[in-house]
Amino acid sequence: MAAADATSGQLDSSTLLKLICAGFSFFVAGVNDGSIGALIPHVIRYYGITTAIVTGLYGASFFGWFFAAVTNTHLSQRLGLGAMLAIGAFLQLAAQALRAWPVPPFGLYVFTFWLTCLGQAYQDAHANTFVASRQGSTAVHRWLGFIHAMYMAGCLAGPFAASSIASSGTGSNWWLFYTVPLALGVVNLGLVVAAFRDSITVLKPDTGAQQAEAGMSASALVNATLKEKSVWLLSLFFFFYLGVVVTASGWVVEYLVSVRNGNLTQMGYIPAGFSGGALLGRILLPEPTHSWGERRMVFLYCIFCLVFQLVFWLVPSIIAASVAISFLGFFSGPFFATAISVGTKLFPPEINSTAISFVFVFAQIGGSLFPTVTGVLGARIGLSVVQPMLIGLICAMGISWLLVPQPQIKGE
């Protein structure tokens, strides 16, 4: 029996477990990423550092994703899908174990971000590719919507857990939060082993999954991917998109505390508004986006994002800021799954897996670079720089989306 019926959407238990595992891996990544904004003010005050120094966290994240981009294709031709997912889950688990002990040295704390992002890159990119490669466009856009909604569910849960734990007592026990992602990491690794045990293998040099499919070496696959114009154009959109998401969610708490004089114990929950909005967007918007046209709808959502970001900037009210950033999350919610779905239609089949992994990693590079730049500029001229930075990124995101080619519908 086929693993799934492309037209009916019926799944056997093995495929369903794998899809649930993929979704849970995104939830784990979301809990980690969503907690950063709530913890940064505590990290700054506990270690006595500036916003420029704390951007070392984003710099370490950048190098984690960059290292993954360099090594991913070569490793995936030597290791099965399950092995790549297991390595990614283990690296994240190891990072959380290093964090979950009384006040790790700042240098070690920074290193764990490299380790976490390396693990996320391997696991999320291959889980994303697994879901995106399913046959049947309807199933693809719905399941992509599911796994990316799970990421935002994690981002929603992260700030609540981080703020409640970090704000308890004197606030010096913020590191206790990491026992939460540590426990989730154990479950994550266990799920991968259970769901993908059939592909936790070491492949022969001439039988790698991608090489067997395309008859190409890892270097040839990378070269073919880098020559594909649509890969670079879609990557550019993701580069700016994740720059918006991580900059907004990562710096909003410190911005509201230092610029608008908000109460730290209360402002730590604001990123949950962004994540909650994005979660609803990823649940409610995929169907109208798919039905009314991805190109038209995503650009319209970009305009809405710009409007609400201007409200956040120009209306000097913390309540207005909370509402505006929630709507920013809502309208940007379906971007990731929609753009990945478009990519599967644009990329040649022989480079599809490598191209999606490259785009996914390139997105995370943007999500590391722009928050770093924001923090460095914030240390010099103040965190008011967050607002014009986000306006510029949203505009660049909308323009870059218009540059992405429109996929031809097969059979027309």
Q: In this predicted model, what pLDDT tens digit does every residue of 268-297 receive, in sequence order?
A: 778 778 888 988 998 888 888 888 888 899
Closest CA to 73 of 199, 198, 226: 226
**How far apart, in Å, are the Cα atoms of 22 and each of 65, 250, 397?**
19, 24, 27
Helix residue spans in 196-334 (DSSP H): 209-214, 218-226, 229-258, 264-267, 270-284, 286-292, 294-314, 318-332
Query: Which 8-state DSSP code applies to residue 170?
Result: T
Answer yes or no: are the C-beta atoms of 117 and 367 closer than 8 Å: no
Q: What is the pLDDT of residue 265?
A: 72
**How far apart, in Å, are the Cα atoms of 189 and each of 22, 94, 116, 158?**
11, 11, 14, 19
Q: In this predicted model, what pLDDT tens digit does every residue of 79-117 receive, in sequence order?
A: 899 999 999 999 999 999 999 887 788 999 999 999 999
Q: What is the pLDDT of residue 217?
A: 67
pTM: 0.79
Concatenating the DSSP letter of every residue in 81-123 gives HHHHHHHHHHHHHHHHHHHSSSS--HHHHHHHHHHHHHHHHHH
Name residues of the chain where pLDDT drops below 70. 1-11, 135-141, 169-172, 204-218, 408-412
Classified as helix, coil or strand, 54 is helix
Find the helix or strand (DSSP H, E) in which 383 lies: none
Query: Which 8-state DSSP code applies to residue 285?
Result: S
**How far apart, in Å, are the Cα atoms of 9 and each of 25, 169, 354?**
22, 50, 25
d(C-alpha 248, C-alpha 322), whole Å: 12
Residues with Cβ within 8 Å of 328's Cβ and at least 6 positions away in sequence, in order, are: 248, 274, 277, 305, 308, 309, 312
Find the helix or strand (DSSP H, E) in which 12 lies: none
Q: What is the pLDDT of residue 209?
A: 46
Residues with Cβ within 8 Å of 87's Cβ and at least 6 positions away in sequence, in order, are: 75, 79, 119, 122, 123
d(C-alpha 200, C-alpha 253), whole Å: 41
Q: State phi, psi for 296 to the nearest 5 degrees.
A: -65, -45
Q: What is the pLDDT of residue 8?
A: 45
d(C-alpha 398, C-alpha 396), whole Å: 6
Residues with Cβ within 8 Å of 51's Cβ and at least 6 positions away in sequence, in order, are: 44, 254, 375, 376, 378, 379, 383
Give bridge partners of residue 202 from the DSSP assignment: 79
Helix residue spans in 167-228 (DSSP H): 179-195, 209-214, 218-226
d(C-alpha 256, C-alpha 320), whole Å: 12
Q: What is the pLDDT of residue 238?
A: 93
Q: What is the pLDDT of residue 136?
A: 53
Q: What is the pLDDT of residue 6?
A: 41
In terms of CATH, what superfamily is 13-403?
MFS general substrate transporter like domains (1.20.1250.20)
Closest CA to 328 of 341, 343, 313, 339: 313
Q: What is the pLDDT of residue 141?
A: 66
Q: Which residue has the tokens 């909003």?
A: 252
Closest CA to 337 of 144, 202, 187, 160: 144
